[in-house]
Amino acid sequence: MKERGVMNNLATNRDPNNTLRTIDSSAYFDVERKQLAYIAETNNDFDDVYENVNRYAFVRKDTGQLLGIHSEDYIVRPYANLAEKVNDVIVESVPDYEKYTITPEDKVLEGGKKYIRTINFWDDKIKLENYSASGMHIKGTEEAIVPQLRIYSSMDGR
């Protein structure tokens, strides 16, 4: 069963129930495609004649915010669906994934134009104190390298 987290757009989900399957609610929104056109000619009666172009405005249904302008070939890939597919790959790849501390963080940026999902694998961290002779570790600190998977997506074409 898929879970939805609670978090605002730029905060970190610190919910103790935040598991790999948690997807922030900000990643769930619908997008509509609106045909773009230009004024081809103006009649004497002030009735404009519009000509459609091969471009569409992709707009959030809930806020009306423009996310991007694309051709008719553009396919909207909802951020939540992307997160679910990546989660499914991890579940298939990591046997008994529930016994590990795996936490996701979702960020929806610029009103929905961009998306970042960061997944941290805390149990596999590399403590840098073991590498103090190489100069990688700052004495007196508890530094570690945490394996991380980061997914980027956007609807603005950039």
**Are 95 and 121 within one domain?**
yes
In this prediction, residue 7 has a pLDDT band, given cuts at 50, 70 and 90, of very low
**Are 36 and 23 within one domain?**
no
Query: Domain total for the chain?
Result: 2
Query: What pLDDT is attached to residue 135?
Result: 62
Domain that holds residue 42: 30-74
Q: 70: which 2 tokens?
A: 């694309």
Q: List phi, psi (to 5°) of 146.
A: -105, 120
Query: What pLDDT is attached to residue 48?
Result: 82
**Are 107 and 48 within one domain?**
no
Q: Is the pLDDT of residue 34 over 90?
A: yes
| pTM over 0.85, yes/no | no
**Are 91 and 65 within one domain?**
no
**Are 40 and 89 within one domain?**
no
Query: What pLDDT is attached to residue 127?
Result: 76
Q: Is the pLDDT of residue 5 over 70?
A: no
Average pLDDT of the chain to the nearest whole number: 83
**Are 153 and 113 within one domain?**
yes
CA distances from 118 to 51, 95, 105, 135, 154 (A): 43, 20, 5, 28, 15
Q: 97: which 2 tokens?
A: 């994934």
Of all residues in the chain, what percent carry a pLDDT higher than 90? 56
Query: What pLDDT is attached to residue 89?
Result: 93
CA distances from 142 to 71, 122, 137, 138 (A): 50, 14, 9, 8
Query: What pLDDT is attached to residue 13?
Result: 43
